[in-house]
């Protein structure tokens, strides 16, 4: 039976890995709350005051006061961040172009991080507003490539390196080191270089037919067991690479 919370003071409460699917909030104060890594598909916010609100999310079919603002937001982001429009490839040439651009952009970001670390030793292990540090971000991308390329395309049952960092709250992958461990930047970059080389080999040989091939993931892990199209796997990698570089640049600037 669903619980009812009425006239309760839950200020400062911490909800982690809690399922609130279908819950209703009525006359509830949410001032200053933070939603991080949440699934709000199908959420409705009615008769609310949204003032000084910041939203960082994947946006589809977002309607505000009866106006679908999705296209406006996407267009404005493409205008602000040249190259972002290339992160929606549909054919092998597009995937190769997107990957080449990502490699170029990440090269500059890594150099920026090295310069910061030279001025402020330890800065690349610092968190900004509870987000991953720069090194943790790179460790997450190790996990992403191991998952979507190693498991999703190459069909390796357990491809994960121990230094990989999964999405917050994910428990499907065992045997990973503590996310708070502080490996050196060079160690993580060396592992990352091996994985980017694998992606490049796959993209070099990629064909239109190959994009729609399906490969089977077996056993517990991420992505879940089943058939996964190469297109879906590569799209996940490109999207994660773009987003997390954007986050890294944002936090490096603040640091």
- Burial code of 133-148, b = ≥16 C-beta within 10 A, e = fewer? bbbbbbbbbbbbbbbb
Q: And the tokens for 123? A: 């800065």
pLDDT at 178: 95
On the question of pLDDT at 159 being above 90, the answer is yes
65 located within any domain? no
Per-residue pLDDT of 18-67, as tens digits, reads 888 888 888 888 888 888 778 888 888 888 888 888 888 788 899 999 99
Say if 74 falls within a structural domain: no
- Domain that residue 188 falls in: 89-254
Tens digits of per-residue pLDDT, 203-253?
A: 999 999 999 999 999 999 999 999 999 999 999 999 999 999 999 999 999
Angle, in degrees to the nearest 10, between helices 185-205 and 230-254: 150
Domain annotation covers residue 21: no
Q: State how far the Cα of 93 lies from the Cα of 100, in Å rounded to an integer.
A: 11
List the Cα angle 29/33/38 in 5-degree steps.
Answer: 115
Contact 175, 161 (CB under 8 A): no
Q: What is the pLDDT of residue 18?
A: 86
Predicted structure pTM score:
0.85
Which DSSP category does 173 fall into? Answer: S
CA angle (244, 246, 250) in 5-degree steps: 115
Separation CA 206–CA 81 (nearest Å): 27
What residues does 217 pair with on adjacent strands? 226
Three-class SS state of 131? coil
Q: What is the CATH number of the domain that holds 222?
A: 1.20.120.450
Among 76, 98, 68, CA closest to 199: 98
Q: How confident is the model at residue 106 (pLDDT cuts 50, 70, 90)?
A: very high
pLDDT of residue 50: 86
For the chain, the average pLDDT equals 93
Judge contact between 94 and 231, C-beta under 8 A. Answer: no
Contact 190, 137 (CB under 8 A): no
- Inside any domain, residue 63: no
Share of the chain above pLDDT 70, in %: 100
Does a structural domain hold residue 102?
A: yes
How buried is residue 199: exposed, middle or buried, by Cβ count under 10 Å (0-12/13-18/19+)? Answer: buried
* Residue 248 located in a structural domain: yes
Share of the chain above pLDDT 90, in %: 71
pLDDT of the residue at 185: 97
Whether residue 127 is predicted with pLDDT greater than 90 in this model: the reply is yes
Strands 63-64 and 67-68: antiparallel
- Domains contained in the chain, number: 1
Quickly state the pLDDT bin for 16 (edges 50, 70, 90).
confident
User: What single-letter DSSP state applies at residue 58?
Assistant: -
Per-residue model confidence as pLDDT tens digits over 177-203:
999 999 999 999 999 999 999 999 999
- HSE at residue 26, side-chain half, CA atoms within 13 A, is 6
Does a structural domain hold residue 222? yes
Residue 198 to residue 159: CA distance in whole angstroms: 13
> Average pLDDT in the 133-160 region?
98
Q: How confident is the model at residue 1 (pLDDT cuts 50, 70, 90)?
A: low
Does 36 fall in a domain? no
């Amino acid at each position: 039976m669903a619980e009812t919370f009425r006239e309760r003071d839950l200020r400062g409460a911490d909800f982690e890995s809690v399922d609130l699917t279908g819950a209703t909030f009525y006359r509830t104060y949410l001032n200053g709350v933070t939603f991080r890594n949440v699934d709000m598909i199908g959420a409705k916010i009615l008769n609310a005051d949204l003032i000084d609100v910041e939203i960082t999310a994947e946006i589809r079919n977002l309607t505000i006061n009866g106006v679908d603002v999705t296209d406006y937001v996407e267009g404005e982001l493409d205008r602000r961040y040249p190259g972002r429009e290339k992160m929606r490839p549909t054919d092998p040439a597009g995937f190769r172009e997107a990957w080449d651009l990502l490699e170029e952009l990440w090269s500059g970001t890594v150099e920026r991080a090295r310069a910061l670390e030279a001025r402020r030793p330890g800065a690349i292990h610092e968190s900004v507003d509870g987000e991953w540090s720069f090194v943790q971000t790179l460790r997450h991308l190790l996990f992403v490539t191991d998952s979507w390329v190693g498991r999703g395309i190459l069909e390796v049952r357990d491809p994960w390196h121990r230094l990989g960092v999964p999405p917050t709250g994910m428990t499907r992958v065992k045997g990973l080191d503590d996310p708070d461990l502080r490996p050196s930047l060079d160690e993580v970059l060396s592992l990352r270089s091996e994985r980017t080389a694998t992606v490049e080999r796959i993209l070099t040989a990629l064909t239109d037919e190959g994009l729609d091939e399906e490969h089977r993931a077996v056993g517990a892990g991420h992505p879940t067991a089943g058939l996964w199209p190469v297109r879906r796997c590569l799209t996940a990698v490109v999207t994660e690479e773009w987003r997390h570089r954007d986050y890294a640049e944002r936090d490096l600037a603040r640091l």
